[in-house]
Amino acid sequence: MISKYIDTHAHLYFPSFDPDFYDVVSRMKQSNVEKVINIGVDLESSKKSIEMSRKFDGMYAAIGIHPTESLQCNDVAFEELRSLILGCSLSIEIVQNCDVSQGNNVFSKSNLVAGSDVVSKNNVSAESMASSQGLRSSEKKVVAIGEIGLDYYRMQVPREVQQEAFRKQLRLAKEFQLPVIIHCREAYEDTFQILIEEAMEKVVFHCFAGDLSFAKKVWERGFYTSFTGIITYPNAQSLREVVRAAPFDRIMVETDCPFLPPQSHRGKRNEPSFLPEIVEKIEEIRNSKDIFQSLYRNSELFYNLS
């Protein structure tokens, strides 16, 4: 059986014409990494993730505002995130002129031109601008909201600002029935409590680096943990214990590239083609082969890629 992989968390923001990016994609395919979730951390990178996902069949986008960037999560930015999910680009002028509700509808039906392809002076599909309640993303390559969460490590942004932006984006994910990708650094209890209060269901803690006690809370709630090249580092024994205890149906794997390359590539720019080394480490820790099948299946189901 040929191993195949999904890199569930990457930051690839090359210009689409950059030859180096095509080299990265070529190496990815050679390593049997069939699909990549490219992650946004602000509006600009979210847009680039969508742009790149359109150019490659195996690439998908997650969009969101990282907690260290949450000062930018004002009303206009938030509505722009919503428009990206809907698969259209609204100017600030149109956002301000439309009846943006606080409820379930993105725009009031009075702003839609029935049977027309135009809303106001932007070329926005009336069909795509219909009520968003229960609507999956019309931008089919947008498969998640992330990475979002809390980061108390450097406290670049006040906690209350981070928490407000976090909650708003969680509610956006629920509105569009999208899973969420969580960044959590030195904020485990607050992050978990907010997820519970917001009644979130499809959640993955990316680049998991917490202890076994917290990991068990995550798994018991039905959430996922995703592991990176950190598990290959000599000083990561406690994290390898988490990997050893993890339920097979609650784990995923990622590179978090261009950061955190596995041990054999330390000092280099990380990329999706290094993912098999991380999977091999999990198989070594668990003394079990063919774990890639569970990892692939978990990722496909979580992101609805099948």
pLDDT tens figures, 238-290: 999 999 999 999 999 999 999 999 999 999 999 999 999 999 999 999 999 98
Structure confidence at residue 224 (pLDDT): 98
The pLDDT, as a whole number, for residue 57 is: 86
C-alpha distance across the termini of the chain, in Å:
19
State phi, psi for 185 to the nearest 5 degrees. -135, 115
Percent of the chain scored above 70 by pLDDT?
82
Q: Is it the case that residue 7 has pLDDT exceeding 60?
A: yes
Least confident of 12-21, 123-132, 163-172: 123-132
Give the confidence band of 137 by pLDDT, cuts at 50, 70, 90: low
Comparison of pLDDT for 133 and 52, the residue scoring more: 52
Min mean pLDDT across 49-63, 113-127, 183-197 is at 113-127
Report pTM. Answer: 0.84
What pLDDT does residue 17 have?
A: 63
Q: Which among 105, 68, 60, 101 has a CA at the least distance from the CA of 302?
A: 60
For residues 238 and 106, give the distance between their C-alpha atoms in angstroms, rounded to a whole number: 45
Q: What does the H/E/C string look like for 31-53?
A: CCEEEEEEECCCHHHHHHHHHHH
- Three-state SS for 90? coil
Per-residue model confidence as pLDDT tens digits over 177-211: 999 999 999 999 999 999 999 999 999 999 999 99
- The mean per-residue pLDDT over the stretch 13-21 comes to 76
166 φψ region: left (φ > 0), alpha (ψ -120 to 50), beta (else): alpha
Domains of the chain are: 8-87+137-303 (3.20.20.140)
Query: Residue 89 in 3-state DSSP?
Result: coil
